[in-house]
A and B are shown apart, each in its own frame.
Chain A
Amino acid sequence: MASTLSTDNNRRSSIKPTASSPTPRRRKSGDRAAVLGFLAPNLAGFLLFTLVPIGASLALSLYEWPLIGEATFSGFENFVRLFTKDPVFWEVVGNTFYFVVGYVVLNLIVSLSLAVWLTSRIRFAGLFRFAFFLPVVAPMVANAVVWRLLFTPDDGLIAWATRTFTGLEAPNWLGSSEWAMPAVIIMSVWAGFGYNMIIFVAAIESVPDSLYEAAAIDGAGWWRRLLGVTLPLISPSMFFATVMTVISSLQVFAQPYILTGGGPGSSTTTLVFYLYKQGFQGYEMGYASSIAWSLFVLIMGITFLQFRAQKRWVHYA
């Protein structure tokens, strides 16, 4: 807090003399040119490859465009069809939420627990940190191929382990519509928790030791210190991790694309995968754009709600 204030003061004090200097205009316009110059490469890329396509896709969502052939304006027809006639759209939305809830909750539990463990006094913490982060760097395609082998019924490693240690038959992970989504979630958590774990490790390590000492003197045990000191102090990091994880998991694509092909049935078809199928298998670009915009509005809405709710649990020191 103190450091933030002092930089603010510095900035203010540095602005004042500039404003009262004899050649304010030239300096200002010179600054602007420099600023624009530095921003230009990024800005051009952003305009050309992000903003224009986003605008184009909004326009496209109002057209019926079979990719090869003429685009015809159809107003909100794509959205009407999507929301009221599409036989699988709502199921796909449901699948996406299933994935988001399962993935985000498990991811946070796993990454937070491991971060707490890694920051306690253990040996080889660096090695473990490195090992846990590895899956994040590994390409999802390779992960999915290996996990498909692990999930193989009867002979797969998971099926073998289940049979050996519990005596029960493992579910047919990728062959049944009940177990395919859990399989996708398990693989995704394994592949993704390392990122949040690193954020939490950094946050926990920046909690001042004096607070723990004070808490210990007051007689707080390990649990009390975790709940009363660590968690409140790292809540901004947890908020950041939650928001980012929710957004990225709403956009999940690679896992169902490679691991399950969206099946069995539509049980692992998520919004982005469905969008891809409509756009690049059905070549219905307008319809695919309307799915993209529905997803965008959904992400906006959920992120807005998260920001609204942060007052209740996020403590900025």
Chain B
Amino acid sequence: MSADSQAEVDVWKHLADMVHEKHPNITVTFESTAFQSYYDKLNTQAASNSLPCIAGLQAQRVPDVGKLFKDLKPLYEKDTSFSLASYEESITKGLTQDGKQLAVPYDLGPYVLYYNKDMFDAAGIPAPKPGWTKDEFLAAAKALTNDGKYGYAADGTPDMWLPYVLSIGGDYLKDGEPDLTNDKVVEGFSFVTGLATDEKVAPVVPATGTANWPADQFRNGNAAMYIDGPWQLINAKKNVDFTLGLATVPAFDGKSVTTMSGTGFGVTAACEHPEEAWKAVSVIIGKDAQEYIANAGRGFPAYTEAQELWYSTASVDGAKEAIDAALETVDVYETAPKWNRLSALLQQYAVEAFSGSKSPRDVLTQVQQQVSQ
């Protein structure tokens, strides 16, 4: 499983202990790596036939590594205490491939807009509400931009701008392959890069090897808004000294569609003890564990009954309204194989679109050319 902080590691270790308590004959050894290199590790372990029995799987990575996982259906059909219907449907669907249920989700998250409430208050403008429009967004971003601070931050990774493409009615996939050069995709991408080049409400993006640069800008107070998933809330709340708020991605012509992702646990195809592995998985994603995760504020639980608990733990302005609103129109984050490569290329090439030295269309064309060679 991936973990980017000690807080996360502790959560996973606690879940492993919950398995030990319930099934003393099963031992779960927890291994983790930073999210950025998690799939490298998974692939390398698969190539050397040393995969653990249980592994985390993010919905976006299903096209790449789905084949490493077993279909869980035969395992959970025998298990009367388990019902897939207790989990948010959009994400259980996201974790299937060719009719196989590869993993059961523990969290899900529509990408939402994080905002720095203190900056809004200081600028004397009302905090954003779910459903706010593009024009309101632009006006707020302009009002927030001064004195070296910016209203918004984004970079070229697809998570940062696909919601804008979807909100204007675009589609970035065609027959399961990336289709980055159609007009709507270019329009959505140009809107986001234009925040830096034309509107000047977002900082120019540096070329960088770091993941989630916009989150850094937001957390250190350089930018008042950015988009991210609710799973970041625990890290964000701990690391910032201002009041956080959540809202939806601004609506275009009354429509705000966001992508969403989520992660689940599955049993790997080469596992020699699938029955035991399933027993462990059913505890890790079970009701108690989901309530524990909700209480710890880690990931927004996929187990619907545990979601209320998460909202009360998070106690972040507008979290419930934003996430509920986002979930109503959400699009499961569908991807193509080698999505991580596409994502890295976009981060790398988009720098020039944010600085204005290349047109957004040229950048998308270059990336498209490389992923389809």
Residues of A within 8 A of B (CB): 67-68, 85-88, 144, 148, 151-155, 172-177, 180, 256-269, 277, 280-283
22 A-B pairs within 8 Å (CB atoms) are namely A68-B67, A68-B68, A148-B206, A148-B208, A155-B148, A172-B355, A173-B206, A174-B207, A174-B351, A175-B352, A175-B355, A177-B352, A256-B209, A261-B347, A263-B208, A264-B352, A265-B358, A265-B366, A266-B348, A266-B349, A281-B341, A282-B338
Out of A67, A88, A175, A267, name the residue touching B206 (CB < 8 Å).
A175
User: Main secondary structure on chain B at its contact with chain A?
Assistant: helix
Interface with A: B40-48, B74-82, B89-97, B131-139, which one? B40-48
Contacts of A67 in B (CB 8 A): 43-44, 46-47
Task: Determine whether B369 belongs to the interface, using a CB cutoff of 8 Å to chain A.
Answer: yes
Task: Determine whether B65 belongs to the interface, using a CB cutoff of 8 Å to chain A.
Answer: yes
Query: How many Å from the CB of B222 to the closest CB on chain A?
Result: 9
A175 nearest in chain B by CB position: B355
Asked if A176 contacts B370 (CB within 8 A), the reply is no
With A259-B209, A280-B40 known to touch, is A264 a contact of B204 (CB < 8 Å)?
Answer: no
Contacts of A68 in B (CB 8 A): 43, 46-47, 65, 67-68
Query: How many Å from the CB of B238 to the closest CB on chain A?
Result: 21
Contacts of A173 in B (CB 8 A): 206
A155 nearest in chain B by CB position: B148
Query: How many Å from the CB of B215 to the closest CB on chain A?
Result: 16
Out of B44, B46, B341, B348, name the residue touching A261 (CB < 8 Å).
B348
Asked if B43 contacts A281 (CB within 8 A), the reply is no
B64 nearest in chain A by CB position: A283
Among A67, A148, A175, find the residue whose CB has the most chain B CB atoms closer than 10 A: A175
Asked if B209 contacts A176 (CB within 8 A), the reply is no
Cα distance, A280 to B344, chains bound together (Å): 12
Within B184-212, which residues are at the interface with A (CB < 8 Å)? Answer: 204-210
Out of A85, A88, A263, name the residue touching B207 (CB < 8 Å).
A263
Asked if A282 contacts B341 (CB within 8 A), the reply is yes
Contacts of B148 in A (CB 8 A): 154-155
Cα distance, A175 to B148, chains bound together (Å): 17
Asked if A263 contacts B351 (CB within 8 A), the reply is yes
With A152-B206, A175-B355 known to touch, is A262 a contact of B43 (CB < 8 Å)?
Answer: no
Contacts of B349 in A (CB 8 A): 263-266
Cα distance, A74 to B173, chains bound together (Å): 30
Asked if B369 contacts A264 (CB within 8 A), the reply is no
Asked if B344 contacts A264 (CB within 8 A), the reply is no
A68 nearest in chain B by CB position: B46
3 nearest A-B residue pairs (beta carbon): A264-B351, A263-B348, A263-B207
Task: Determine whether B226 belongs to the interface, using a CB cutoff of 8 Å to chain A.
Answer: no
With A68-B43, A87-B369, A264-B349 known to touch, is A281 a contact of B344 (CB < 8 Å)?
Answer: yes
Contacts of A256 in B (CB 8 A): 209
Among B205, B341, B348, B354, find the residue whose CB has the most chain A CB atoms closer than 10 A: B348
Out of A87, A154, A176, name the residue touching B373 (CB < 8 Å).
A87
With A68-B68, A175-B204, A280-B40 known to touch, is A257 a contact of B351 (CB < 8 Å)?
Answer: no
Task: Determine whether B340 belongs to the interface, using a CB cutoff of 8 Å to chain A.
Answer: yes
Contacts of A264 in B (CB 8 A): 207, 348-349, 351-352, 355, 357
Query: How many Å from the CB of B47 to the closest CB on chain A?
Result: 5
Cα distance, A174 to B204, chains bound together (Å): 10
Asked if B208 contacts A260 (CB within 8 A), the reply is yes
Cα distance, A180 to B358, chains bound together (Å): 15
Within B356-373, which residues are at the interface with A (CB < 8 Å)? Answer: 357-358, 363, 366, 369-370, 373
Cα distance, A283 to B47, chains bound together (Å): 10
Asked if A176 contacts B357 (CB within 8 A), the reply is yes
Out of A85, A175, A258, A261, name the residue touching B344 (CB < 8 Å).
A261
Within B315-373, which residues are at the interface with A (CB < 8 Å)? Answer: 338, 340-341, 344, 347-349, 351-352, 354-355, 357-358, 363, 366, 369-370, 373
Instruction: Add 5 more A-B contacts to A174-B351, A282-B341 (CB < 8 A).
Output: A68-B43, A153-B206, A261-B347, A264-B355, A265-B363
Query: How many Å from the CB of B192 to the closest CB on chain A?
Result: 16
Contacts of A263 in B (CB 8 A): 207-208, 347-349, 351
Contacts of B46 in A (CB 8 A): 67-68
Out of B44, B206, B210, name the residue touching A151 (CB < 8 Å).
B206
Contacts of A144 in B (CB 8 A): 209
Asked if A258 contacts B357 (CB within 8 A), the reply is no
Cα distance, A89 to B204, chains bound together (Å): 28
Asked if A176 contacts B341 (CB within 8 A), the reply is no
Query: How many Å from the CB of B70 to the closest CB on chain A?
Result: 15
Asked if A265 contacts B373 (CB within 8 A), the reply is no
A262 nearest in chain B by CB position: B348
Cα distance, A281 to B349, chains bound together (Å): 16
Cα distance, A192 to B351, chains bound together (Å): 28
Contacts of B355 in A (CB 8 A): 172, 175-176, 264
